[in-house]
Amino acid sequence: MKILLLGKNGQVGWELQRSLAPLGDLTALDRSTVNDLCGDLADLDALRKTIRLINPQIIVNAAAYTAVDKAESEPELADRVNGRATQVLAEEAAALEAWLVHYSTDYVFNGEGSTPWSETAAVSPVNHYGASKLLGEQAIIASNCKYLIFRTSWVYGARGNNFAKTMLRLAKDRETLSVIADQIGAPTGADLIADVTALAIQHILQRPELAGLYHLAAAGEVSWHGYASHVIDFAKANGEALAVKEIKSIETVAYPTPARRPLNSRLDTQKLRDNFSLHLPDWQSGVTRMLREVLNK
């Protein structure tokens, strides 16, 4: 079975290189062109040609324009990579009768209320990144290809930049950190996303009726402030020399950013757990494992 992975060096893409390898003959691309194969999602014609050259049974797209604030000033590029390129992938998957596995975000929701969002909840993004990711979802659903879309949240990996690493870096020099306490979600490991992806692919090959849109996040919930406290407490308990003495709670309104963020990022993962007989671990276990890896503890 031929598998094409796009975005191989992102947080999720890196872990997918590992988890997809046992499933088939994996071609993994980043945005560069190697031997006529181009993984640049901004180059739509080259992307189409590449898919036809490889002729995969499964396309896994971990590439995305993920710069949430920058997307406000680069909306065309965000739409091209997250919307139009996804449409190209979906059209080519439909033509090849291949599966398309794709990732989206809780940022398709407006963040109101405190109920975890189900897959059928109304979408209404509050920033351009969310809107561009929604374009991608809609293109896939309209294409009639066989697909899995996983909406996830607050992704971290041992490789790549993420919130936990930023907190550790800042905590080395600053005595006080101010962290948002009114946005709630679940930090979700790129390794968990990649492992669930591989399991789900094995299932859908046997049971194609399981195709569709799923919410995929670690269990439990926390604010960015609670997440930062967990990270700093772990680092201190394990002997890291940190200057930080206090982690202050602040509200989103006190920390203006170019892109608005939804307050409620909770995702209801019941459908994923039921359809694929999966257990999703609590967010703390994955974060602790990542910290052990990056701190070498």
The catalytic position among 129, 147, 156, 227 is: 129
Please, which residue, 10 or 125, has the CB nearer to ligand NDP? 10
3-class SS of residue 124: coil
Tell me: does residue 42 bind ligand NDP (CB under 6 A). yes
Q: Residue 58 belongs to what H/E stretch? A: strand 58-61
Look up tokens 């790129």; give the residue: 190
| Interatomic CA distance for residues 78 and 80, integer angstroms | 5
> CA torsion 240→176→156→210, rounded to 10°?
130
3-class SS of residue 260: coil
Of 20, 54, 56, 103, the one binding ligand NDP (CB under 6 A) is 103
Tell me: does residue 135 bind ligand NDP (CB under 6 A). no
| Interatomic CA distance for residues 43 and 50, integer angstroms | 11
Binding string, 53-72, against ligand NDP, x = CB under 6 A?
---------xxxxx------
Half-sphere exposure of residue 113, counting CA atoms within 13 Å on the CB side?
10
Binding string, 186-225, against ligand NDP, x = CB under 6 A?
----x-----------------------------------
Q: Is 255 a catalytic residue?
A: no
Residue nearest to ligand NDP (CB): 10
Phi, psi for 120 (deg, rounded to 5):
-95, 0
CB of 175 to ligand NDP, least distance (A): 28
Tell me: does residue 105 bind ligand NDP (CB under 6 A). yes
Of 12, 59, 131, 232, the one binding ligand NDP (CB under 6 A) is 12
| Interatomic CA distance for residues 243 and 108, integer angstroms | 37
Tell me: does residue 19 bind ligand NDP (CB under 6 A). no
| Interatomic CA distance for residues 187 and 278, integer angstroms | 18
Query: How many residues touch ligand NDP (CB under 6 A)?
Result: 26
Q: Which residues are catalytic?
A: 129
Q: Residues in the site for ligand NDP, rule: CB under 6 A? A: 7, 9-13, 31, 39-42, 62-66, 81, 103, 105, 133, 152-155, 160, 190
